[in-house]
Amino acid sequence: MKTKSYIFKGARVIDPKKKIDSVIDIGVSNGIFTDPKTLNNAEVINLKNKVLTPGFIDLHVHLRDPGGKDRETIETGTMAAAAGGFTTVVAMPNTSPVVDSTAAVEYLRRKAQKTAVVNVLPAAAITKNSEGKDMTGIGSFSKAGVVAVTDDGRCVQNSDLLLHVLEYAKTFNMPVLEHCEEDSLAENGHAHDGYWAAVNGLKGIPKSAEAIMVARDIALAKEAETTVHIQHVSADESVYLIRDAKKRGINVTAEVTPHHLSLTDDCIKNFDTRYKVNPPLRTETDRQALIEGLKDNTIDVIATDHAPHAETDKLKEFAYAPFGMIGLETAVPIVLTELYHRDVLSLSELVAKFTTGPAEVLRRDDLGTIEIGLQADLTVLDVEKEHAVNKHNFYSKSRNTPFNRKKVKGKAVCTVVGGEIVYSELEGLKGKI
In sequence order, the 6+-apart residues with CB closer than 8 A to the CB of 370 are 13, 15, 18, 20, 26, 33, 54, 378
d(CA 38, CA 26) in angstroms, rounded, equals 11
The answer to whether the CB of 11 falls within 8 A of the CB of 23 is yes
Type of residue numbered 82 = A
Q: How far is CA 160 from CA 26, 132, 380, in A?
A: 49, 11, 45
Given CA atoms 218, 219, 220, 225 in this order, what sign does their dihedral have?
positive
- Catalytic choice (15, 58, 100, 305): 305
Q: What angle, 0 to 180 degrees and rounded to 10, lies between the N-to-C axes of helices 74-84 and 102-115?
A: 60
In sequence order, the 6+-apart residues with CB closer than 8 A to the CB of 36 are 7, 25, 26, 27, 42
Type of residue numbered 265 = D
In sequence order, the 6+-apart residues with CB closer than 8 A to the CB of 266 are 196
What is the number of H-type helices and E-type strands within the chain?
Answer: 14, 20
d(CA 351, CA 288) in angstroms, rounded, equals 20
d(CA 160, CA 157) in angstroms, rounded, equals 9
305 is catalytic: yes
What are residue 371's DSSP bridge partners? none
d(CA 230, CA 214) in angstroms, rounded, equals 7
d(CA 380, CA 276) in angstroms, rounded, equals 31
Tell me which residue of 304, 164, 286, 171 sits closest to 232, measured CA to CA: 304
DSSP 23-75: E--EEEETTEEE-GGG-SSPEEEE-TT-EEEEPEEEEEE---TTT-TTT--HH
d(CA 361, CA 7) in angstroms, rounded, equals 30
The answer to whether the CB of 208 falls within 8 A of the CB of 182 is yes
**Residues forming the active site:** 305
